[in-house]
């Protein structure tokens, strides 16, 4: 399984050949300099956003088929609406 993981702090996208729950933990641990994959605590992964996202620290991945690119596009569109004063 191929999972795209988004770092919400930088916008960087990483690809992991892991399920989403394991991929976000791997991204989190590797950002901390921990490359000993056998030591990762996979219970750190938290399902959020109505059961569609899984997060660990600043890292998130979709549990559904919707791509991260689509999620970022929707976020940018929502931000533009706010800036134009179209959202309340």
Contact 60, 5 (CB under 8 A): yes
| 88 domain residue, yes or no | no
9 in any annotated domain: yes
CA dist 36 and 30 (Å) reads 9
Q: Is residue 59 part of a domain?
A: yes
Does 69 reside within a domain? yes
72-84 average pLDDT score: 65
Total domains in the chain come to 1
Side-chain half-sphere exposure of 43, counting CA atoms within 13 A: 0
**pLDDT, tens digit, 9 for 90 and up, residues 18-71:** 988 899 999 999 999 999 988 898 888 887 766 788 899 999 998 865 555 565
4-14 burial, b at 16+ Cβ within 10 Å, e below that, comes to bbbbeeeeeeb
Phi, psi torsion values for 34, nearest 5 degrees = -95, 110
Note down the domain range covering 56.
3-83
């Amino acid at each position: 399984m191929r999972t795209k993981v988004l770092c919400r702090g930088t916008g960087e996208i990483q690809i992991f050949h892991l399920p989403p729950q394991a991929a976000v933990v791997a991204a989190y641990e590797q950002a901390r300099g921990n490359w000993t994959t056998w030591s990762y605590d996979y219970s750190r992964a938290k399902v959020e956003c109505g059961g569609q996202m899984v997060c660990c620290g600043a890292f998130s991945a979709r549990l559904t088929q919707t791509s991260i690119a689509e999620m970022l596009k929707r976020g940018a569109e929502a931000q533009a609406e706010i800036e134009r004063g179209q959202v309340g």
